[in-house]
Structure 1
Amino acid sequence: MSIPAGSIGLNIDPSASGVQAAQRLTRLAEDSGLDFVGIQDHLYHPEFLETWTFMTALAMSTQRLTFTTNVANTVLRPPAQLIKAASTLSLLSGDRVVLGVGAGAAPQATAAYGGPEYSPGQAASAFEESMRVMKAMSDPAGRSVRINGEYHQVNGAHPGPLPPRPVPIMVGSYGPRMLRITGRLGDGWLPTNAYAPPERVPEMQRILDESAAAAGRDPKAVQRVYNVMGTITDGGPTSEGQSLTGPAGFWVETLGRYRDELGFDSFLFWPVNADPEAQTALFAEHVAPHVRARTAG
């Protein structure tokens, strides 16, 4: 399942000390009508649970929500195994999985956990190979995949079992080269306002669109989902950029502007600096319905 335009999601941290809170947040997201949940993937963080195990447990406790990695670290996760994990959970959950991927952050922490310590250029090259492997391994017409890359080799691997529809692959990308890879190969773009602040987005969207068109793709086919970190307040000062802060009405107007002016079709709320459950309840009741109504209009 993709994340349709106008969808509203919630980020849930895979904290080992917050499992019960995460379960409550998942039920709240499901019961309040939110559309999807994102789970970050930082294997090397000693406080974080393993994302696929955690996400599977949450997904199997729900009936409607779509789940996405936000985003999976392709340096520590071999691409053929990663797409198989996503396809497996899609089959188990009834087509409710989107695979968010990135080139991997924190190279020293990644290396400490057993992965290679890539330079930015190496990370982008390895990521593009990962995308090609995952696309090939999720192709229903594929019978035997052979890719002999510099960073990834697949020697006659047999794809499957595959869900009825290939799992969409969305990319958390920021630099020009990664954006071009996203435009050529990604099913969607999944940036975060902390790293892609609003003032930078138009140029990033331009690169993505031009790359998609150069690859013979319709740029409109690439979904645009914005991770928005921030806090809903009772009033007082408002701010944008790396953290969106202000009352519910300010959030509605700002997300509407992000849709109209920046080109995002869906949003993932990432509550920070406040109680996540209280923030999610406020967002689901006072922000999400109005953003959806604006999108539908």
Structure 2
Amino acid sequence: MAIPTGSVGLNIDPSATGLASARRLAQLADTAELDFVGVQDHVYHPDFLDTWTLITSLAMSTRHVTFMTNVANTALRPPAQLIKAASTLSILSAGRVALGVGAGAAPSAIAAYGGPQYSPAQATDAFEEALQVMKAMNDPAQTSVRSDGKYHSIRGAHPGPFPAEPVPIMVGSYGPRMLRITGRLGDGWLPTNSYAPPARIPELQRAIDEAAVTSGRDPRAVQRIYNVMGTITDGGSPVFEGQNLVGPPGFWVDTLNRYREELGFDSFLFWPVNADSEAQAAVFADKVAPSVRVPHPQGVQR
């Protein structure tokens, strides 16, 4: 497993002007023994570097931390090629890759970049087909993959090479159909507090669990990772700015541990906002992560 249960991670923006900072943040995550780094994938953003190229560069300059797309846009990244890229980077990095995927949340920007401009229903249909293709191409037992979908057609593709363990495929999802797809096919769930606030989480978790059980899966097979946006302060009273957490380290520790116990999340990715990312990351690594991270069994890849 690229991201063990009980992990803590850090967001890194793929901004071209922030490349030096991205490299320092990756090194901080690596040396501070954080478990993973998440990098958003908005290829159509003119200020953003290509996410796959960036995480490949960062993975080659680190030794321990796992890199995860948060999340890769399947409307612009064909699924067979996407899982091939993830498997390749997993081989190159000794298994330090997790693949976060989503249907794409900016249809006009996707269309402007040469992709399809789907309706919400079409985007969900296309994503389900893409996820099925990726799961098949990620299976070492498969020697030839065929899929005659409406949006993704695979005609006898030969998957491989395979890393030592299949790349986990996490899903960013919020709507009812996407949650059901997550429960049936996903290896993990990647919501963000700004889109799925804590008050909504129980109903969303139930939807995933019910879909997993209906399809014959153990709901525990779906890892739950919460993207938590906010700011760690030096002191003062904690507040919620919208859905973002704002407060001192102790408040963050208490809140994330409560989210684990009450909301069913096992891992967390810290996404600093409205403050210096490097300073925030250092405080998170030093004063929050050690009290939130669950020690991993000896021999488990970090």
**Displacement of 1:294 after TM fit?**
9.6
Cα distance in 2 between the residues matched to 1:50 and 1:295: 32
Matched letter for residue 246 of structure 1? G
1:58 to 2:58 alignment? yes
Q: CA RMSD in A?
A: 1.3
Structure 1 residue runs without a partner (length 5+)? none
SS at match of 1:89: helix
1:263 to 2:269 alignment? no
**Displacement of 1:138 after TM fit?**
1.1
**Displacement of 1:293 after TM fit?**
5.7
Task: State the partner residue of 2:83.
Answer: 83
Matched letter for residue 231 of structure 1? T
Task: State the partner residue of 2:300.
Answer: none
Cα distance in 1 between the residues matched to 2:81 and 2:281: 33
1:197-254 per-residue CA deviation (whole Å, 9 max, x = no partner) reads 0000000000000000001000011100000011001223423452111110100000
Matched letter for residue 28 of structure 1? L
Instruction: Tell me if structure 1 keeps the 8 A contact 2:7–2:294.
Output: no
1:241-275 per-residue CA deviation (whole Å, 9 max, x = no partner) reads 52111110100000011000000000000011000
**Displacement of 1:32 after TM fit?**
1.0
Task: State the partner residue of 2:38.
Answer: 38
1:202 to 2:196 alignment? no
In structure 2, the CA distance between the partners of 1:209 and 1:174, relative to structure 1 (3 Å rule), is same
Task: State the partner residue of 1:169.
Answer: 169
1:47 to 2:47 alignment? yes
Task: State the partner residue of 1:276.
Answer: 277
1:103-142 per-residue CA deviation (whole Å, 9 max, x = no partner) reads 0011000100001111111111000000100011111111
SS at match of 1:48: coil
Matched letter for residue 139 of structure 1? D
Instruction: Tell me if structure 2 keeps the 8 A contact 1:256–1:294.
Output: no
Matched letter for residue 217 of structure 1? R
TM-score normalised to structure 1 length: 0.97
Cα distance in 1 between the residues matched to 2:239 and 2:154: 47
Matched letter for residue 253 of structure 2? V
Alignment size in residue pairs: 296
**Displacement of 1:295 after TM fit?**
10
Matched letter for residue 286 of structure 1? K
SS at match of 2:280: helix
- Map 1:82-231 to 2 at 5 A: 82-231=82-231
In structure 2, the CA distance between the partners of 1:187 and 1:116, relative to structure 1 (3 Å rule), is same
Cα distance in 2 between the residues matched to 1:82 and 1:294: 31
SS at match of 2:293: helix
